[in-house]
Structure 1
Amino acid sequence: MDIYVFDKSFNLLGIIDSFESLIWDREFYKTGSFKLHVTLPDLDKFAAEIISLLQKGNIIMKDDSPEEAAYIEDIVLDDEDSETIEVSGFFIDNFISERIVWGQQSYTGNIEEVIKLFVKMNAITPIDLNRIIPNLMLSLNRGISKPANEVNSYGNLADLTEELALKYEVGWRVLFDLENKKFLFDVYEGKDLSVNQTVNPQAIFSLEYENILKQSFKDSYAGFKNVALIAGQGEGAERKLAVINNNVTGFERRELFVDARDISLEKEDDTPIPENEYEAMLVSRGESKLAELQPIQTFESGISVLSNLIYKQDFDLGDKVTIQNNRWGITLNTRITSVKEIYEKNNKDIQVNFGSNIPTLIDRIAQKMR
């Protein structure tokens, strides 16, 4: 496999045709990442060429997935055993992490339209032209029919997109359109390949079917919340409040406080927001926070590349599939939330997360800060 290197203007700078390893970490709800490890050639000229290619900000693309690309953020040169260069970074989805929601913005429509409006107004056609991300465009709408009404003030654009994707069960990405020299922001849904439907071919993963090499299952309530008290603007007894799932009682009740004082009581033209609309905004914020704190049920599995199910043909990131372990008595009809492609010399491994994403420490810190 060859790795093509471009600048941000889509100019081809060169090709990496030999490397020690590549980890290509695809995500459905959030930004993917990568790590590339290359041994430098003995000849100074060739070593210098590789170093000049693998510079911060340059974009890399695998020749087997030209629509996916990532940009270099970190570089490490090392000569401990042999001279190596290791570069890492993020998928180009992460371009939008360098923008915030400028002021209070509120949009209504289906979730595809709402997410795209936040991106459009803060990175594609913002009032301040200095905020434009060059060559970023919106993809054609796919017609995702999930109604949404969302408001945000000064949030990080990528964090908001991830939050809404998780809440409404959609994926998002930025596609590398080399032919038209554009970065295409796209919202999409995976296919339903589970045993619960008969429209599409079913994808069943099980040790018994010999399409899984190993499995690890996690079932956890750690951090789970199901009742939210959301507080908007106002002081003391005058503070605007809303509650979600207040009917849950006893040991089943797990409460969360959501500080939503950033949601203004007035529209951009300084007219008051009607009380029922403001309460709906508070409820929507609470639903977003609860969506981040759901029970974790996930299978981590190593997928056999020689199995009856072919990656990216019979199943892909974002698809809903069925995964089983009869010995453990577990069957899940769930979504593929992340796929880690690992390339080492002539070997390729596929590691798949089925079900909830397990929050990392950084994820948990980010949740507390939002």
Structure 2
Amino acid sequence: MQIEVYDMNVTKSGVQISLMAVCDSFSSLLWDVQYYGCGSFEIYIAASPQNIATFQPGRIVGRDDDKQHYGIIETIKLETNAENGDYLTMTGRFLMSLLSRRIIYPTLSFTSLTSYADIVRNAVYFNAMKSGNRQIPSLRQGTVSGSCWEQKARLQVSYDNLMDWVYKICEITGGTANIRLEEISNGNYALFFDLSEGTDRSIFQEENAHIVFSDSYCNLLTFDYAVDFSAQANTAYINGAEDKQTVAFNGSEPSFLDRYEVFVDADNVKQETKIDGETVPISDEEYIALLAEKGAEQFLYPTETTESTIAVDGKQYQYNKDYFIGDYVTVEHQRFGLVQPKIQLVGMIESYDHNGRSLTPTFKI
């Protein structure tokens, strides 16, 4: 595996990318891919004038074996030591972090039922793709895959950080968002905004080969288990503009000890929308639906997580070939009688150092 460093220059025709260096002699690399958040990376390498000139803030870092994730160098740290040598540490986030440079402005409003795919793609278009100073050069609409993005909702949002809001919608739908880099002509690259969904590979289905991590299969090397019921919210009391109020539930109305309430201040949700540039009022029924959707964004659920170390060179499954971030798999620890028949792989840290390669996944129900 090699690290590729690209210089990025914005031109009228797109993003001009030039390969600056290819490196395979780094001391360590952490490659942290997240399903419901922006992933990150860390590179630790011997310091030299050449490396300092190559690894500059704003440059893109990629891997020759991963064409889905590219990072932007955000911080650089130089450490000199007469005994241990001189080292550079570079950290940054993946290309989705470009959306964190924008907020949602002006108000984005969908008063009729609209698919989440169209809602999110419109939000990104109007705040990061449309021509003008807010445009992220060469950012384009990519692919949409997964039935989760066909779910529909009414929604109004304003002033939220664009990247954070996109991942909030991802948690609601069960999908994920990513920006990848793709060459469209010789030396010219475009950034593509994709929406996708993980695949069910658990023992609860028969369409795909089962992926089971277990101590009995010798592919589960370490196992940390945690369950947290302390933070929950399944009933939202929402207060909108002009003291309009409603209550939203997660499914049927919960009662007694199963009811966890939260208050949501949504007076910034306006009872109006824009059609062809003209501001028009919306009905009380449509407005209450918008408030209910705003309340649903604040629901909190019990969490059951597993952080493990799994076999890298196992003969059974290979990461990014047999299973991927976002997939549902089965995790079990038979010695303690713990079985999670369907749990989602929401994060994977790949680590490369003098000891070789290791995989540290995070699973979450």
1:284 has 2:285 as partner: no
Corresponding position of 1:188: 196
Aligned residues between the structures: 342
Corresponding position of 1:354: 363
Q: Name which of structure 1's ranges 310-319 and 176-185 shifts more when overlaid on structure 2.
A: 176-185
Q: Is the 8 A contact 1:104 1:264 kept in 2?
A: no
Mapped partners of 2:288, 2:93: distance in 1: 37
- Structure 1 residue 247: deviation in Å? 3.1
User: Counterpart amino acid of 1:138?
Assistant: Q
Corresponding position of 1:342: 351
Corresponding position of 1:32: 39
1:115 has 2:115 as partner: no
Q: Tell me the TM-score normalised to structure 1 length.
A: 0.89
Corresponding position of 1:252: 258
Paired residue secondary structure (1:149)? strand
Mapped partners of 1:321, 1:279: distance in 2: 38
Post-superposition Cα deviations, 1:313-344, rounded to whole Å, max 9, x if no partner, equal 11110111111122333222011101111111
Q: Is the 8 A contact 1:5 1:13 kept in 2?
A: yes
Post-superposition Cα deviations, 1:39-63, rounded to whole Å, max 9, x if no partner, equal 12xxxxxx11111111111000011
- Aligned residue among 235, 251, 270 for 1:264: 270
Corresponding position of 1:85: 88
Paired residue secondary structure (1:278)? helix
Q: Which runs of 5+ in 1 are unaligned?
A: 41-46, 357-370
- Structure 1 residue 22: deviation in Å? 0.7
1:132 has 2:163 as partner: no
Corresponding position of 2:63: 62
User: Counterpart amino acid of 2:303?
Assistant: I
Mapped partners of 2:351, 2:296: distance in 1: 36
- Aligned residue among 174, 196, 201 for 2:179: 174
Q: Tell me the TM-score normalised to structure 2 length.
A: 0.90
- Aligned residue among 105, 109, 123 for 1:106: 109
User: Counterpart amino acid of 2:347?
Assistant: S
Mapped partners of 1:277, 1:329: distance in 2: 49
Q: Is the 8 A contact 2:345 2:362 kept in 1?
A: yes
Post-superposition Cα deviations, 1:237-284, rounded to whole Å, max 9, x if no partner, equal xx0111123832222222111111111112133322111111111111
Mapped partners of 2:279, 2:46: distance in 1: 60
Q: Which runs of 5+ in 2 are unaligned?
A: 9-15
Mapped partners of 2:183, 2:302: distance in 1: 40
Whichever structure has more strand as a proportion of its residues is 2
Corresponding position of 1:296: 303
Mapped partners of 2:212, 2:310: distance in 1: 12
Post-superposition Cα deviations, 1:8-53, rounded to whole Å, max 9, x if no partner, equal 232111122211111100011110011111112xxxxxx1111111
Paired residue secondary structure (1:270)? strand
- Structure 1 residue 231: deviation in Å? 1.2
Post-superposition Cα deviations, 1:142-196, rounded to whole Å, max 9, x if no partner, equal 3632223322111110011010000110011111113451111000011110111
* Aligned sequence identity (%): 29
1:231 has 2:235 as partner: no
Paired residue secondary structure (2:269)? coil
- Aligned residue among 14, 24, 31 for 1:17: 24
Q: Is the 8 A contact 2:109 2:273 kept in 1?
A: no
Q: Is the 8 A contact 2:146 2:197 kept in 1?
A: no
Mapped partners of 1:101, 1:49: distance in 2: 40
